[in-house]
Amino acid sequence: MKATGIVTGIISNLVTVRFEGDVAQNEICYIDLGGTKMMAEVIKVSGKNAFVQVYESTRGLRQGDKVEFEGHMLEVQLGPGLLSSSYDGLQNNLATMDGVFLKRGEYTAPLDHDKVWHFTPLAHPGDTVYAADWLGEVKEGWLPHKIMVPFSFKDEYQVKSVAPEGDYKIDDTMAVLTDQQGEEHIVTMVQKWPVKVAVGGYVEKPRPFRIMETGVRCIDTLNPIAEGGTGFIPGPFGCGKTVLQHAIAKQGDAEVIVMAACGERANEVVEIFAEFPELIDPHTGRHLMERTTIICNTSNMPVAAREASVYTAMTICEYYRAMGMKALLLADSTSRWAQALREMSNRMEELPGQDAFPVDLSAIISNFYARAGIVKLRNGQTGAVTVIGTVSPAGGNLKEPVTESTKKAARCFYSLAQARADKKRYPAVDPIDSYSKYLEYPEVVEYLKERVSKDWVDKVLRAKNLIRRGKEISEQINILGDDGVPISYHEQFWKSELIDFVILQQDAFDPIDSLCPFERQEFMLSLVLKICDIPFQFDDYEQCSAKYKEIINVLRQMNYSVFRSEQFNQYLEQLNTLLNHEQ
């Protein structure tokens, strides 16, 4: 028996409902506003009153309006067709909505129920299976989309029958399973899962040991992120957070990308809609959109759905991870999600924590990042969810609750520096403040030795040292003046500038420079470090800076040229002449 109720109070999107029957925390309900059913979620129960946050504007709602509870939490539908779709935070398909404006209470089906998929069975009658085991697969784009035993199935099942190879729709019966009591259960291509609960069904979650390549030098070379790892990008506005995230989305070495545009600008999402269908995945040569799902809850869309959007995105990633795939979740921006929590907490008149955020903010954030990870499936395969979130710290000050909480939860920190952005040194990732904890993992170091070269990590650490030294020296030069320090100081400074201009800076809008594969990163870093080893003889500091500027200019032209092309080799030759001339 589902509960019902009536509206008794309204403050913005927080509605109080007096209910009959039983309701659960986080249960979904629908409020009837003159025939329009508006979705809401229970966030607190007190006596016979349920406090619900409404995922729509409450304009026109009256005291006494009817409410029906649904008996389940906010769920998403999981099945073939998720990729290349664009959803709002509640998984409504944005493409199939009518009209230009969003209408209240318009909920659209996330998956196409009429589309035909070609199914190939993987399990056999008589097999013993558990939740998340593979029963068969369909081709979704170029990816083998596994049809699994639903995550919600508990304990052991016997496969009674599996559909033979052929064409099916998502609601067709793909398998029949028998539980230990002898009861039969039908499995279709679709299953539902509550977004706020982590998907299980794997054997273990080992420490990440592989690197996820992004083609962005200041990440891959200096502070690489692991497959199944977590990272975050805090930065004041105007420092290039979104450009950096888009670059990772375009180039990241993952099979599935889910982008959660959470409370951000609509035009940024439109950019994805406009560009991604045209772009080619550098790893497979297929259209980028085919491996991408967009969860879009822009800043002007209902606040409560913002919170749901990051969980919806995470659940979809976990679903693909259970198929043995590498999924990447990009959440932009987690601060907006935290602000949505703050708005609700405020309306519920809870005692506030720091900056009026709810006191359990830190726990909520670390819970979310903890859902990332590489997992070993029951069949021995691995799957991964890598999470990169952005944080928009108020006033650019990193000593605020969202940044501090995320710092505790995420292992990579890509700090965007205003000073670098002001100088147009993009990406503005601060090379000194940023870090990757994964460089301290012995298994990751081993992996890099195999993947790149034996002395790679040493080279990276050396480059970092040169940058650090360069910064110290530039401060001294600022105090003592160009003439007040020995020429060797200027040389040290320019070595760090060399690394800055050639390795750290990267033109995200240049078709060639924007994507830098590991081989190329290895080549360029080795080349730059070799130049740093040359004992130049300078008469004065102006000669020193002039020389390095020349070198930098040639190296930058190389960055703009196709790797090992004729043009590239010409610049290399030009560089060699420039350097040999010196010795």
Residues numbered 479 to 508 that lie near other proteins (CB under 8 A) are 481-484
**Amino acid in the structure at residue 299:** S
**Amino acid in the structure at residue 456:** W
Kindly state the smallest distance separating residue 548's Cβ from other proteins, in Å. Answer: 11
Length of the chain, in residues: 583
Selected from 236, 252, 373, 431, the binder of other proteins by CB under 8 A is 236
Give, to the nearest 10 degrees, the angle between helix 566-580 and helix 541-559.
170
Taking a C-beta distance cutoff of 8 angstroms, is the pair 525, 464 a contact? no
Nearest residue (CB) to other proteins, 265 versus 287? 265
Footprint (CB under 8 A) of other proteins, residues 322-351 = 333, 336, 339, 342-343, 346-347, 349
Selected from 6, 94, 279, 579, the binder of other proteins by CB under 8 A is 94
Selected from 6, 45, 73, 97, the binder of other proteins by CB under 8 A is 97
Q: State the first-to-last Cα distance of the chain, in angstroms, to the nearest integer.
A: 87
Q: Interface mask (CB under 8 A) for other proteins, residues 415-434, using x and -?
A: -------xxx----------
Quickly tell me which residue has 């318009």 as its tokens. Answer: 106
Regarding 396 and contact with other proteins (CB under 8 A), the answer is yes
Nearest residue (CB) to other proteins, 290 versus 513? 513
DSSP state of 416: B
Give the C-alpha separation, 294 to 278, whole Å.
16
Give the C-alpha separation, 339 to 299, whole Å.
11
Nearest residue (CB) to other proteins, 339 versus 521? 339
Nearest residue (CB) to other proteins, 336 versus 411? 336
Kindly state the smallest distance separating residue 343's Cβ from other proteins, in Å. Answer: 5
Alpha-carbon separation of residue 347 from 26, 74, 175, 312, 536 (angstroms): 17, 21, 47, 24, 66
Kindly state the smallest distance separating residue 531's Cβ from other proteins, in Å. Answer: 17
Give the C-alpha separation, 192 to 151, whole Å.
8
Give SS3 for 433. coil
Residues 6+ apart with CB under 8 A from 580: none
Torsions phi, psi for 473 (to 5 deg):
-65, -40
Give strand pairing partners of 383. Answer: 375
Footprint (CB under 8 A) of other proteins, residues 545-574 = 545, 549-550, 552-553, 556-557, 560
Nearest residue (CB) to other proteins, 229 versus 263? 263
Kindly state the smallest distance separating residue 347's Cβ from other proteins, in Å. Answer: 8
Regarding 539 and contact with other proteins (CB under 8 A), the answer is no
Quickly tell me which residue has 């009837």 as its tokens. Answer: 32
Pairing of strands 292-297, 86-87: parallel
Give the C-alpha separation, 205 to 95, whole Å.
36
Regarding 582 and contact with other proteins (CB under 8 A), the answer is no
Give strand pairing partners of 167. Answer: 118
Footprint (CB under 8 A) of other proteins, residues 273-302 = 273-274, 296, 298-301
Q: Interface mask (CB under 8 A) for other proteins, residues 50-89, using x and -?
A: -------xxxxxxxx---------------------x---
Give the C-alpha separation, 515 to 247, whole Å.
8
Selected from 542, 569, 573, 576, the binder of other proteins by CB under 8 A is 542
Kindly state the smallest distance separating residue 349's Cβ from other proteins, in Å. Answer: 8
Kindly state the smallest distance separating residue 439's Cβ from other proteins, in Å. Answer: 31
